A and B are shown apart, each in its own frame.
Chain A
């Protein structure tokens, strides 16, 4: 599938500490997704660290206040909740921790499943209660 580069010309990502390899499910340059059990390499095209599964977009709750600080000890499963777009157009997946309710916003990676991303982005439009009149006037 043709895919435009997501990274070209975008602002640089803020510096992040090197990810610790710790705990179960983390071994030698890859982690096992808590959502779909896929073995996912840490290296992701265009990002300093991968924070969600490229296949199902699920994540693990390991950040507390600042994305990348890896300070949270919750380790709950974070499910994709909605899509957000930054002013420069870059997409951010809003994740919701199923264990503690915390929210986080995470940049998409170049190899994220495009259909999964799009399904998340159109979710408000597929809601049967969507106000059609407001939609038509956009």
Chain B
């Protein structure tokens, strides 16, 4: 799909040219602007890992191609659509790009907003496709 609008500005390029593991002293000080809420964010999370989504609203930008792992030219806004719980692993946020529909899975970071995460995690249960009463105390 290529019909979606995307709000790109020259000041909002994000960490396009750096690889995910490049945490040199220079890149640790780098910042990017959240495409959704406009917050200025340090690229490095408190634990030193590279941040790919906004800790406040969990939105992201499509900067990596999922097929070859290299940079993507899309740059579209990525909306958090689900929380995945791998067995024995940390929670992951599933993002969908509003411009090209690509899906990604990235780990949550220590300073991600817990309330926003939980709201996302329970969202399907707010509108179940069948009556939950039928299941008793699942």
Contact = CB atoms under 8 A, between A and B. Distances in A.
Interface of A: 1-4, 6, 65-66, 81-85, 89-92, 94, 96, 102-105, 108, 114-115, 117-119, 121-125, 127, 130-131, 133-135, 137-138
B82 A94 contact: yes
Binding site secondary structure of chain A: mixed
B94 A124 contact: no
B122 A81 contact: no
Contacts of B100: 65
A89 B131 contact: no
A82 B125 contact: no
Give the interface size class of chain B: 35 or more
Given A96-B84, A121-B124, A138-B118, 9 more contacts: A1-B130, A3-B130, A85-B127, A103-B103, A104-B103, A124-B91, A124-B122, A125-B121, A134-B115
B96 A105 contact: yes
Contacts of B126: 85, 89
Interface in B65-123: 66, 81-85, 91, 94, 96, 100-105, 114-115, 117-119, 121-123
A108 B129 contact: yes
A82 B132 contact: no
A73 to B, nearest CB: 13
